[in-house]
Chains A and B, each alone.
Chain A
Amino acid sequence: MIKESLRGKKIAITGSTGFLGTALVELLLREIEDVELRLLIRPSGKRSASKRLERDILKNDAFDQLKEALGTSGFKDLTDNAVSALTADISKNNLGLDDNGLRELSECDVVIHSAAAVSFDEPLDRAAEVNLMGPVRLVETLQSLDAEPHLVMVSTCYVAGNRKGTAPEKPLSQSPFYVPLNWREETEAARRTRSYTEDDSRRSENLEKFRTEAKNELGAPGISLIATKTEQIRERWVKDKMVEAGRERATSLGFPDAYAFTKAMSEQAVQEIRGNIPLSIVRPSIIESSWDKPNSGWIRGFRMAEPIILNFGRGTLKEFPGIPEGIIDVIPVDLVASAIVAVAAQEKPTDPFVVQVASGACNPIKIGILADYVHEFFGNFPILDEKNQPITPSKWEFPGRGRVVTQLTRAKRILQLAENGLHKLPIRGNQAMIVADLEEKRNELDKAMEYITLYGKYVECEAIYDVSNLLGLWDSLEDSDKSSFLFDPRVIDWRKYVYDIHLPTVVTQGRVKTTPSSSPPTSRNDRLRKQILDPTRQLAVFDLENTLIASNVVSSWGYLATKRLSSQDRFRIISKTILEAPSMLAMDRRDRTDFLRNFYRKYEGAPVLQIDEDSLEMFNEFILTKSFPAAIRRVREHRALGHRTLLITGALDFVVQPLKPLFDEILAPSLEMKGNKYSGRMTQVPPIGETRAAVLRNYADMNNLDLKESVAYADSTSDLPMLEAVGFPVAVNPETKLATLARRRGWLVENFQPISGSPKRTLPLGSKKE
């Protein structure tokens, strides 16, 4: 019946690149002869609609079996004839369709609207724009085309809101839970909230807050990076505010979140404006991986439950809100797709036909039982930690949401405190990486917390979704349809579904480690190192301080200044420098260029010849003893591979002169000379921060080198512009901020150390003659 009814029909589908949409396309192609699918696809980035059809839909493993059955060319013939992509955007008038698109749409017999912003943390206005205004625009477009196809709208069971009792399969207005919603006003309000929030984010005290946050995160990498970061933080702030606004508005009206809220409004809106367009509404509950078709456990993308399950397996989530006797309403995707197709195949209804695809009413699974299955599964197939040890899953006690949240909040606060404290310490290298670890842990907790606030509400929903219409539809089917379009929730064997189908899929999709890795955990670094030491790299650029040597401009000056002094004068100079230290440090943190400019004034009047002579001795006595042999070896390795090697430093040229044979080129500031003395002024802007990146780009241009094929080594966030300018950045003995960034971005981190046995000096003083 279904097959006959839909044979040769033209069906438009929105949201075909999504999880449910892909399942629908596959099902229709597999089961309906001569069907003509018109997929309304929004171009994404550089990808056109037809490219997305090919890449994002037809390449999906949902079609593997169909491809196998038809052969590659048979599959191509089928899809070429039966499927075409229409460039569309449901946030635009006329859905952004061109004339051809509009004509195609007007010729359709059925329109399945499955596009939605399904993420549970959508900003309010975006949720309204997509979930509410999308279908409104679709209906308006159809009306402007005088088309009256069967409109099948995919909604959600949760439009019933956070209520207890049975939710009937009726339009919302006829439901006992009906909340009259003025969708036009709500949309306007959402748009206004956006513009208020945008304005608010630009208030000077907020902008200042964002900038401080950016500085805290990045240190002092220069104005442009701080600006970029500040803007990112502002945008994130606006988004967070909008998400919060959505959540709050939804809660205030009794919905779990903005998604359910906007979906509920859209049902009402479409009913209100549909005119003569026949309407069916399909409300699935929580859609998860497939029961049987295209194959058991097929899933696309990461759904709602997966992160929770994985975090549970990893041991991050030790508890979960919800009550063990509560019912969790999950429905496999293939059942939903079949139900939609069955609904679409029906006679066009005059009154809106509503059907709920849910398991809770006819084949419920309790949260406690689900938790037992999950526990048993991870007990038998544990996830491994980085040391290849199985992680023991904890048993959920269901202490209630409040306590779970308190536990997590406390843990998070402790981590944040530890992190803040460590950021203030002058630590580097391996110790600094601890901060990166802490941040990772805290992010995990953040995630866990998010899941709980977002999904906890769903778990706590205690409504039972009536499925009489669904079962009625099922009973009306012929046997042949029943085998092709299975949507009876009663067939689900929950243990089989959870234990044998869904969890293995989640584990595979989540790419978690369940078999011991043969390579040691350092293999990642080895791999990165191999890339860096590849002959095709072109340039290796090094910073000096804490990258090649454990020293700084102050020590060099201290050495040179005290080299020829009596003990008394030395003492005076040392005490003076120590007194100045706090203000110098502060200046350095603010702006390194300013600091250098100021500090180098100390060289005013220094005799050129003497400084040159003493610099050589300083190199032997001081700089080399502070050097990192592994770093020097690395420079030489680069050279041996034919890479050009470059040292860019804010240290003065006479200090680094003895390093010349190590590099192809050294870019260092020099001091102006007055007669045979230094004036204490630099002859050019020192290559620091953004200037360093600019100098590097310039150098690369002049020498015809590709920075994308180049490596940069540096230790501090003030070098970020340089590190970001190259294709292969390396953080050397990173300070905490850079350590965190390097971890986040997957950069190679090297810990170069002075060799043990090096002579130690407490103060950087020139050695006296015997």
Chain B
Amino acid sequence: MPQNQRKHPRPGLVLDVDRTTPPILFHHGEGFRMEKLPAGRSRVIYPAEPLPGVPNPNGTIRHALENPLGDSPPLSALLKSGMKLTIAFDDISLPLPPMRKPDIRQRIIEAVLDTAASAGVDDVHLIAALALHRRMTENELRHAVGDRVFDAFAPTGAIYNHDAEDPDGMVVIGTTPHGEEVQINKRAAESDLIIYVNINLVSMDGGWKSTATGLSGYTALRHHHNPQTMVESRSFMDQENSELHKSNWRQGKVLKESGIKVFQIETTVNNNTFGYDGPLAMLQKREWEWNFKDRMTFLSMQAGLKRMSNSSKRKSFQGWHSPYEITSVQAGEVEAVHKTTTENVYKQHLVQVEGQTDILTMGLPYICPYNVNSVMNPILVACLGLGYFFNMYKGKPLVRKGGVVIMTHPTPWEFHPVHHPSYIDFFERVLSETTDPTVMSQKYEKAFAEDDWYRHLYRTSHAYHGVHPFYMWYWCAHALDHLSEVVIVGGNQEAVRRMGFRSATTLQDAFEIASDSVGFSPTVTHYHSPPILMADVT
């Protein structure tokens, strides 16, 4: 039965690999590998099938706005004529891959604007809460908020990208008891109400992180975006045990106490990343359930990809927009909203797993939060594998302390010159000298963060902030601390070595390399994602 017709989608699965298990799909950048895992000591963790979406998204949104969670009045009661309203929304990094039109942000913002219009609010600004990410292009903004909203706000300049380096556009609100400065967009701070429109793709997103990070700048972010915090966040996907989140919540408390009012709207989407049918449908199926059509489509896709250049492969993959369905909308007071949202995220993502293994394998796909319409450079490869995928756990990591991560990705020595200028210099100058997050943070972070040229490109072009590559590397800090070896299968040798990892041409070679640390018959877990799954390891 096709997935979408299942009334009760199947939960995630831990498959023990035996000799009858077919080769397993590994994402490999803009391509795929089929790999045989060693029988008898390997397991594969599959994500849950997509949960059913809400039947009437617009109705659900309106219902959520008028029935807020926590001690918040309904939205209509908060909107008054003559007030200053700022609607902030998540940027291009969410969701991944981007969502088919209409984007959920468009639906929500349209609903909010309808309510605001009927309340007579006319001072409204729309801000892409991108913190230190790159500015979104006009087309990207249009995709997120829809043409109607964009065309209404663009001419007066009332829709724009957050600018964390605008000397006149940022304010420091205060300091947490831990000495962390709290900085926020001045327009947002001066508004009578901030409405934050979030897409909670993974459990890390949302809550106070939306405003305390999304609308903030380097002054505040450096207090939790650092190696120390990241090593102590176990994992940063698990709010309860994440220093990153604790710090954000402390900053959120300062925001709240300063009188800044936030009406938080959080949403969740299901795991329908590649569609129930269509060219990529087999990617969210389990291999032994692939039918004839799936196999043929996959084979012809592989054959086609072989003939394509890197850039045309990139172009076609980046063109994929996911047909996610909305599974929930929560609105109201930040913390109450986020509690429910997180539960809804976990419903889709959590898979129960018992114990750790010596090796964790993962296939890295073509996209991560920072290369939408862009290039996945080597630093982002590391960040996706060792930052995001590695941290997709509650309890303890899928791989034991001193274990090995093997990931597959071509890791080409390629960069997007417009989006990632500081990455290029980071790769050439910093990583060639040290791969230790703490050492680089002390020696180089400040210079990159305060560099005029990077600042100029961040503010006027579409570049990630100068300090961003450091954050990507800090994201890996916990994994780097935990693992004894990282092997990238199929990776560009020089690029991989520059990052202090080992490259292998085949998975077999990778196991050979790993044997130095974990012996010749290690236990193996394969993290079969995307679609997204989060391991609850006991």
Binds B, one of A589-597, A647-655, A740-748, A755-763: A755-763
Q: Which of B69-97 contact A (CB under 8 A)?
A: none
Contact in complex: A755, B461 (CB < 8 Å): no
- Known contacts A636-B453, A662-B453; A624 and B417 CB within 8 A of each other: yes
Contact in complex: B456, A661 (CB < 8 Å): yes
Chain B residues, Cβ within 8 Å of A630: 428
Chain B residues, Cβ within 8 Å of A759: 311, 416
**A755–B413 Cα gap in the complex (Å)?**
9
Contact in complex: B461, A620 (CB < 8 Å): yes
Chain B residues, Cβ within 8 Å of A620: 418, 460-462
Chain B min CB distance to A174 (Å) = 79
**A556–B187 Cα gap in the complex (Å)?**
37
- Known contacts A633-B425, A636-B453; A658 and B460 CB within 8 A of each other: yes
Contact in complex: B418, A624 (CB < 8 Å): yes
Q: Does B300 contact A (CB under 8 A)?
A: no
**A181–B20 Cα gap in the complex (Å)?**
106
Contact in complex: A757, B418 (CB < 8 Å): no
Say which residue of B139, B424, B461 sits within 8 Å of A770 (CB atoms).
B139
Chain B residues, Cβ within 8 Å of A662: 453
Q: Which of B432-462 contact A (CB under 8 A)?
A: 451-453, 456-457, 460-462
Closest Cβ neighbor of A630 among chain B residues: B428
Contact in complex: B412, A619 (CB < 8 Å): no
Q: Does B414 contact A (CB under 8 A)?
A: yes
Q: How does the 8 Å CB contact mask read for A633-667 relative to B, with 1 for contact and 0 for none? A: 10010000000000000000000001001100000
Chain A min CB distance to B299 (Å) = 28
Say which residue of A616, A758, A770 sits within 8 Å of B417 (CB atoms).
A758
Contact in complex: A629, B415 (CB < 8 Å): yes
Q: Does A156 contact B (CB under 8 A)?
A: no
Q: Does A538 contact B (CB under 8 A)?
A: no
Q: Does A625 contact B (CB under 8 A)?
A: yes
Chain B residues, Cβ within 8 Å of A633: 424-425, 428-429
Closest Cβ neighbor of A616 among chain B residues: B460
Contact in complex: B424, A755 (CB < 8 Å): yes
Q: Which of A602-643 contact B (CB under 8 A)?
A: 616, 619-621, 624-625, 627, 629-630, 632-633, 636
Q: Does B142 contact A (CB under 8 A)?
A: yes
Contact in complex: B462, A625 (CB < 8 Å): no
Closest Cβ neighbor of A621 among chain B residues: B418
Say which residue of A616, A658, A757 sits within 8 Å of B377 (CB atoms).
A757
**A619–B311 Cα gap in the complex (Å)?**
21
Q: Does A769 contact B (CB under 8 A)?
A: yes
Contact in complex: A755, B417 (CB < 8 Å): yes
The number of chain A residues with a CB under 8 A from chain B is 24
Among A627, A630, A754, A770, the most chain B Cβ lie within 10 Å of the Cβ of A770
- Known contacts A629-B424, A661-B452, A661-B456; A756 and B414 CB within 8 A of each other: yes
**A661–B462 Cα gap in the complex (Å)?**
16
Chain B min CB distance to A646 (Å) = 16
- Known contacts A658-B460, A759-B311; A629 and B418 CB within 8 A of each other: no
**A619–B418 Cα gap in the complex (Å)?**
9
Chain A residues, Cβ within 8 Å of B123: none
- Known contacts A661-B453, A661-B456, A760-B311; A624 and B424 CB within 8 A of each other: no
Chain A residues, Cβ within 8 Å of B375: 757
Closest Cβ neighbor of A629 among chain B residues: B424
Contact in complex: A757, B416 (CB < 8 Å): yes
Chain A min CB distance to B322 (Å) = 19
Chain A min CB distance to B379 (Å) = 12
Closest Cβ neighbor of B414 among chain A residues: A757
Chain A residues, Cβ within 8 Å of B414: 755-757
Q: Does B403 contact A (CB under 8 A)?
A: no
Q: Does B138 contact A (CB under 8 A)?
A: yes
Q: Does B421 contact A (CB under 8 A)?
A: yes
Among A627, A633, A757, the most chain B Cβ lie within 10 Å of the Cβ of A757
- Known contacts A629-B421, A629-B425, A661-B452; A755 and B415 CB within 8 A of each other: yes
- Known contacts A629-B425, A769-B139; A756 and B453 CB within 8 A of each other: no
Chain B min CB distance to A112 (Å) = 65
Chain B residues, Cβ within 8 Å of A769: 138-139
Chain B min CB distance to A108 (Å) = 70
Chain B min CB distance to A546 (Å) = 16
Chain A min CB distance to B447 (Å) = 9
**A629–B463 Cα gap in the complex (Å)?**
13
Chain B min CB distance to A664 (Å) = 12
Chain B min CB distance to A190 (Å) = 63
Chain B residues, Cβ within 8 Å of A755: 414-415, 417, 424
Chain B min CB distance to A549 (Å) = 10
Closest Cβ neighbor of A624 among chain B residues: B418
Contact in complex: A619, B417 (CB < 8 Å): no
**A282–B3 Cα gap in the complex (Å)?**
110
Closest Cβ neighbor of B140 among chain A residues: A770
Chain A residues, Cβ within 8 Å of B377: 757
Chain A residues, Cβ within 8 Å of B429: 633
**A632–B451 Cα gap in the complex (Å)?**
13
Q: Which of B444-499 contact A (CB under 8 A)?
A: 451-453, 456-457, 460-462
Chain A residues, Cβ within 8 Å of B461: 619-620, 624, 658
**A760–B315 Cα gap in the complex (Å)?**
11
Closest Cβ neighbor of B425 among chain A residues: A633
**A54–B375 Cα gap in the complex (Å)?**
67
Closest Cβ neighbor of B428 among chain A residues: A633
Chain A residues, Cβ within 8 Å of B418: 620-621, 624-625
Chain B min CB distance to A740 (Å) = 30
Q: Which of B397-431 contact A (CB under 8 A)?
A: 412-418, 421, 424-425, 428-429
Chain B residues, Cβ within 8 Å of A627: 417
**A73–B428 Cα gap in the complex (Å)?**
58
Chain B residues, Cβ within 8 Å of A619: 461
Contact in complex: B421, A756 (CB < 8 Å): no
**A760–B414 Cα gap in the complex (Å)?**
13
Chain A residues, Cβ within 8 Å of B451: 636
**A502–B248 Cα gap in the complex (Å)?**
81
Chain A min CB distance to B135 (Å) = 9
Chain B residues, Cβ within 8 Å of A621: 418
Instruction: Give 11 A-B pairs besides A629-B425, A757-B310 with Cβ atoms closer than 8 angstroms.
Output: A620-B418, A629-B415, A629-B417, A629-B428, A636-B453, A755-B414, A757-B311, A759-B416, A769-B138, A770-B139, A770-B142
20 interchain pairs, CB-CB under 8 A: A621-B418, A624-B417, A624-B418, A624-B461, A625-B418, A629-B415, A629-B428, A632-B421, A632-B453, A658-B460, A661-B456, A662-B453, A755-B414, A756-B415, A757-B375, A757-B414, A757-B415, A760-B311, A769-B138, A770-B142
- Chain B interface residues toward A at CB < 8 A: 138-139, 142, 310-311, 375, 377, 412-418, 421, 424-425, 428-429, 451-453, 456-457, 460-462
List 8 tightest A-B contacts by C-beta distance, closest first: A757-B414, A661-B456, A757-B375, A629-B424, A624-B418, A620-B461, A770-B139, A755-B415
- Chain A interface residues toward B at CB < 8 A: 616, 619-621, 624-625, 627, 629-630, 632-633, 636, 658, 661-662, 754-760, 769-770
